Structure formats: structure tokens, C-alpha cells
Structure 1
Amino acid sequence: MTEIQNRWQQLQQRLPPGVNLLAVSKMQPASAVRELAACGQVDFGESRVQEALPKQEALSDLKNLRWHFIGRLQANKVRAVVKAFSWIHSVDSMTLAERVSRIALEEGCCPSVLFQVKLRSDPAKGGWDPQSLRENWPALSRLPGLHSSGLMTMAPLGFDVHERQGLFRDCRNLADELNLTQCSMGMSGDWPEAAACGATWVRVGSALFGARPPLPS
């Protein structure tokens, strides 16, 4: 068993029932994804289309992989993302949701969509204001061509454990209010807290793959 596979096995043993592991494979080689796929890992997260597409091609023999787009979704990348990913974790506005809907219909796809919410002040992150999401929800939930599955949020840097727990609970409560089952929240440093507060997806990169390889010069 490789080091990556050993970390995966240890993580699986710690995951509570109902919490799914999303292996964040951005900046990792296709060979590392293949190692985890051999263990039974199916779901992988990427944040850049131009990195993901060659990786997906190199792994095209693995038919059961599910690819999740977890990066900031730019309007000009929507078509490429809709075609290449079955899950999108970062739809953060009505305009973007309408664009995803239209392009998904054109491409004959129906991605599962998570709406990114901004539950605390954080200039580094985007997302729906909770009240705006509530007000737009009747129209948003009826958009064709996408499956409205849940919410995604990230804790601001510098939050302590209690602040993160409050944030994660608020996200779970908002999802429940909107009758959404999925919550994507928690990363390598705080996923156990998110899982305890109602996450159904935890996004784990460095705790699974180890330190990211250095960027090319």
C-alpha cells in the first residue's frame, strides 16, 4: 500500500456515516488519482479546467470517476465545466446559475449544483448572501438543466474552532430550510468539525495527498 493509499484508508475509517470524501486532486498528477481510484475512491475535485481536462483524458479508462468542479466558476468557462464535470460546487449568483442552466440544456447535461454561500464577512471569498439566496430560491430552484443539490461554504482564514462550528451549523440549517440534502464544507484542517455539524461532502487535499508539489518556475 502506498503512502497516499494509507492516508485514504485512515480517513475513511474516521468519516462518520453519511459524509462523503471528495479528494481534492488539483495540482496532483493523474498517477496519484489512479492510486486512490484503485482503493475505491470515486469523487475527485479540481479547480482549473485547463488542468483538469488533460488529467481526465489520461484517466479516461477509469469509467466510474466523478469529477467535481470546486474552483471559482468564471462565465467564460461554464461550457467547458458543464461538459467535463458532473458536480459544480461554486455557483454564487443568479446570473451564473442561469448561464449554467442554459448551457447545460444546450449540451444535454444535468450537473448537480451546489450554491456557494457567504455566511460571514470575508473579502477573500464570494457567495450568496443568505437572505438573497432565500429571496431568489423560488426561481433558482426551478431552473431547468441542473439539479439543485445543496450548499457549499468555506470558513474565513483565522477563524477559531468555535467560529468555524457556528459557520458550519448555519450552513447546515440554511440547507435544511431550503430542503437541500447536500452540504459541501470542511477541508483538510477542519473537516472533522464540518462533518460533526452536518457536512455531507468534505474536501480533502493535503491531508490525503500530502504537500502539494512546487509550482513550475
Structure 2
Amino acid sequence: MLADVEQSEAQDIKENLALVLRQIGQLEQEHHREAGCVRLLAVSKTKPLSALVAAYQAGHRAFGENYVQEAVEKSQALSHLADIEWHFIGPIQSNKSRLIAESMDWVHSIDREKIARRLSEQRPKGLAPINVCIQVNISGEATKAGVALSELASMVALIDALPNLQLRGLMAIPAPQDSFDAQCVVYQPLMHAFVELSQSDSMIDTLSIGMSGDLPAAIASGSTMVRVGTALFGARDYSQ
């Protein structure tokens, strides 16, 4: 019976993955984006290993985690899976930076000089530089992490000088808006900043914006990576 339940859950994840990828493809076409230009990052926080393995077996490779200890444990447990890609997308405490530096392929939430320096210094020898995105506070919320757009140039210069970080782009989590048009307006300055950066550096190719609630606006605004969790894995607790 348990095997039947696990098989059913795996099939659900496979079907959900196909649906989300189809939706992304339709939005690329609708907003005149190149087919396949938007990557899907599966937000797998709080989900069990079985759910991640099901997505991997369905062809997915990039997984996003918010909590350091959980991310480390999952990356270790699934280290046997070829070309799996770990993205850390949560806030970073300085006392946890070493764990991230030792286990993650990407970090999307760089917003402080101290964290950037620690990640570079703590990256083990023999590992490739960490792919990083600068988190930008595009809504100007006092409670939100991220640098202001006015501080972006200095953060770019800092990361460029750190040997074990490779700047790949920008990430943002804007305040909720009540319409597609309002979401696009908020994203507009970030999109312009990303285009300007990408024109000056060929390695800058990632605009990490868009979740389930604003997927159309994010893709219309130039997103190259969207973060989706519940639509893939469901809201139920897979740990039972």
C-alpha cells in the first residue's frame, strides 16, 4: 500500500511539473520571449527527499531551499544524483555562511558585503565559484532584505573582486500587488538594471523573479528564472 501511495505521489509531481513547464512556455510565447529562456527553480523547502527524487526522475534538476540545515542535509543525502543543482534562496545569517559555501551551487540572496566576503572566503578549494545573485529591495520595504537599486553598482564591484563568487544576476521578492499591470510597474526598474548589467558582462544572465502569484508579470518583465513550489509538490505533507 505504501509503495502504491509513493507511486501516486511521484506521478502527481511528474504531471505537475509538466503543467508548470507548459504554463511557462505559454507565457514565453504570449509575452514574445524566446522559447525556453525561462528556467524553473523548484522550491523544495520542507518537502521530503522522496518528493525531490520524484521531480528529479521526471527530468528536473534545479532545486531551491530556504533553510540552511535542511538544504545541507538534502544536498548530502542526494549527492549521488548526477547534475542536481542546489540553489539557496533564503536569508543568510553570518554564522551559517560556511555551510552554504560548502554545499550550494547558487546563492540568490546576497545583500550584504559581510555575507559576500564570508561566502567567498569559506568556499572550499577545488569547488567552482558559487553562482550568486544580488537581492534587490525593489519595493523599498523596511522589513525586506535586499540592496537598494542605488547601491547596486557598489555591490556588483565588490562581488566582481571576490575570487570564489561568480555574479550571475539579480533577484527580488516585491511587495504583493493587486494587478498584472501594477506588478509589471514594480519590476520595470529592476528589468532595466538587469539589462544594463548583462550588456556589460556576458556572465550576467539571470533575473530571478516570479513566483506563483506573479508569474505572468515576471515573465513579461524579463525573468529568466521563476521560483515555484506548491504547484509542483502540492500543499499536503509528504512526510507521512
Normalised TM-score (structure 2) = 0.83
8 Å CA contact retained: 2:88, 2:100: yes
Instruction: Tell me what 1:183 maps to.
Output: 207
| Cα distance in 2 between the residues matched to 1:140 and 1:203 | 24
Residue 166 of structure 1 deviates from its aligned partner by 1.7
8 Å CA contact retained: 1:46, 1:69: yes
Give the secondary structure class of the aligned counterpart of 2:21. helix
Residue 141 of structure 1 deviates from its aligned partner by 2.1
| Cα distance in 2 between the residues matched to 1:48 and 1:11 | 24
Change in Cα spacing, 1:166 to 1:77, as seen in structure 2 (3 Å) is same
Q: Higher helix fraction: Structure 1 or Structure 2?
A: 2
Instruction: Tell me what 2:229 maps to.
Output: 205
Change in Cα spacing, 1:45 to 1:56, as seen in structure 2 (3 Å) is same
Instruction: Tell me what 1:92 maps to.
Output: 111
Query: Given residue 196 of structure 1, which amino acid in structure 2 is its aligned partner?
Result: A
Residue-by-residue CA offset, 1:67-91 (whole Å, 9 max, x unaligned): 0000001111111001111000000
1:11 to 2:20 alignment = yes
Change in Cα spacing, 1:176 to 1:105, as seen in structure 2 (3 Å) is farther
8 Å CA contact retained: 1:82, 1:109: no
Selected match of 1:33 from 52, 70, 74: 52
Instruction: Tell me what 1:2 maps to.
Output: 11
Residue 186 of structure 1 deviates from its aligned partner by 0.6
Residue 136 of structure 1 deviates from its aligned partner by 4.1
Selected match of 2:170 from 141, 151, 176: 151
Residue 175 of structure 1 deviates from its aligned partner by 1.2
Matched positions, count: 216
- Comparing 143-152 with 99-108, greater Cα deviation is found at 99-108
Change in Cα spacing, 1:138 to 1:161, as seen in structure 2 (3 Å) is same
Query: Given residue 171 of structure 1, which amino acid in structure 2 is its aligned partner?
Result: L
Q: Any unmatched runs of 5+ in structure 1?
A: none
| Cα distance in 2 between the residues matched to 1:158 and 1:94 | 30
Change in Cα spacing, 1:80 to 1:109, as seen in structure 2 (3 Å) is farther
| Cα distance in 2 between the residues matched to 1:77 and 1:183 | 25
Selected match of 1:22 from 28, 31, 41: 41
Q: Any unmatched runs of 5+ in structure 2?
A: 1-9, 29-35, 199-203
Residue-by-residue CA offset, 1:157-187 (whole Å, 9 max, x unaligned): 3553222212223222111222232100111
1:61 to 2:80 alignment = yes
The share of aligned pairs that are identical, in percent, is: 35
Selected match of 1:81 from 100, 103, 119: 100
- Comparing 47-56 with 148-157, greater Cα deviation is found at 47-56
Residue 109 of structure 1 deviates from its aligned partner by 4.2
| Cα distance in 2 between the residues matched to 1:212 and 1:92 | 32
Give the secondary structure class of the aligned counterpart of 1:165. helix
8 Å CA contact retained: 2:101, 2:120: no
Instruction: Tell me what 1:165 maps to.
Output: 184
Give the secondary structure class of the aligned counterpart of 1:190. helix
What is the aligned-residue RMSD (CA, Å)? Answer: 2.2
Query: Given residue 14 of structure 2, which amino acid in structure 1 is its aligned partner?
Result: Q
Change in Cα spacing, 1:36 to 1:195, as seen in structure 2 (3 Å) is same
Instruction: Tell me what 1:51 maps to.
Output: 70
